A = this chain, B = another copy of it.
Amino acid sequence: MTRKPTLAVVGATGAVGAVMLQILSQHADVWGEIRLLASPRSAGRKLVVRGAQTEVLALSEEALAGVDVAMFDVPDDVAAHWAPIAAAQGAVVVDNSAAFRMDPDVPLVVPEVNPHAVRVRPRSIVASPNCTTLSMIVAVGALHAEFGLAGLVVSSYQAVSGEGRAGVDTLRTQLSLVAGTELGTNPGDVRRAVGDVTGPFAAPIALNVVPWAGSLAEDGWSSEELKVRAESRKILDRPGLPVSVTCVRVPVLTTHSLAVHARFENEVSVERAHEILATAPGVVLFDNPAAGEFPTPADVVGTDPTWVGRVRRSLDDPTALELFVCGDNLRKGAALNTAQIAELVAAEFGTA
């Protein structure tokens, strides 16, 4: 006998939550009841999912009762507290925070790369990677399967929605403050124009790029840079993989881009890389500069796949490829991957 499992969306009212509700309405309907949960202050709001107005409930033990799969998109500390409670009540938790990603008893899953990992979840928790890792790992994973990855050097071009609604609002406000001015070619111009509208960023983000994301970790690294390294290693099951990352925020609303220098164990060719990327699930190869074809955030935003272009073989190293990849940080980078993991779990119900 099969039944459709009950899903809880924890953090339904956030930026990622909004995208999650869209995705739940667009995807094949594997879910029975969908319960929307959020902080007490959002309780009572009504959101549309699968075409129906649905009231948001306050997150509580009672509200989690009977839930089969709980998708969490909440701050790390909230996830750390509530995910084990949901798991103890019988739910499989799919968590999009950083709270459990490096826990050896929690698999870190990208369905196109390591779907098998979802089945081994001793804590009943499955983690979804950071949006920056997710924006490249599907493409890199496909190439790794063929050539054997030997090292990554990554530079990011990260959208402001990685900082949630506050990031988006800050960029929009700053843009309105600098638009139409002649500002921007003398030192301090942009800082003066944006004044104290800095939001979550360490420097102005309009007409600027900011080489910082996350919090300060050891030796000058940002937490975001260390996440990309640690998560890539875990997802690809290559614990010693050399990974160097520089994370930079850019004035783009949504969709992260990454310039990736990938070294492999074997000689590579652009032709073979094209074949792999053209057929890899979850990847769109968009690589014809002669025709002006390469991915940019403006074209990729709102779509599901990882887009790959600018594929080149290093002129000095026949084992290295250069790529430029774009992925919507709210979709594949967050809500979509979480939903895909949840659907892998739901499939277990279908065969119970």
Contact = CB atoms under 8 A, between A and B. Distances in A.
A270 B301 CA distance: 38
A115 to B, nearest CB: 27
A270 to B, nearest CB: 7
Interface stretch (A50-58, A85-93, A200-208): A200-208
B229 A315 contact: yes
A289 interface: yes
Given A155-B155, A209-B250, 15 more contacts: A153-B153, A157-B157, A176-B179, A176-B180, A184-B301, A186-B301, A203-B296, A207-B251, A208-B298, A211-B309, A211-B324, A212-B310, A244-B320, A246-B259, A248-B324
Contact of A313 (B219, B229, B320): B219
A49 to B, nearest CB: 19
A139 B209 CA distance: 20
A311 interface: yes
Given A211-B294, A211-B310, A300-B187, A289 B244 contact: no
Interface of A: 151, 153, 155, 157, 161, 172, 175-176, 178-180, 184-191, 202-204, 207-212, 216, 219-222, 229, 240-244, 246, 248, 250-254, 257, 259, 261, 270, 287, 289-290, 292, 294-303, 309-317, 320, 322, 324
Contact of A311 (B207, B209, B220, B270): B220
A171 to B, nearest CB: 8
Contact of A203 (B176, B187, B207, B299): B299
A308 to B, nearest CB: 11
29 contacts: A151-B316, A155-B246, A155-B259, A157-B157, A157-B209, A184-B301, A185-B301, A187-B303, A188-B298, A189-B298, A202-B294, A203-B299, A208-B252, A209-B250, A209-B296, A210-B296, A211-B257, A212-B310, A216-B290, A220-B287, A220-B310, A222-B289, A240-B316, A241-B316, A242-B314, A242-B317, A244-B315, A244-B316, A246-B322
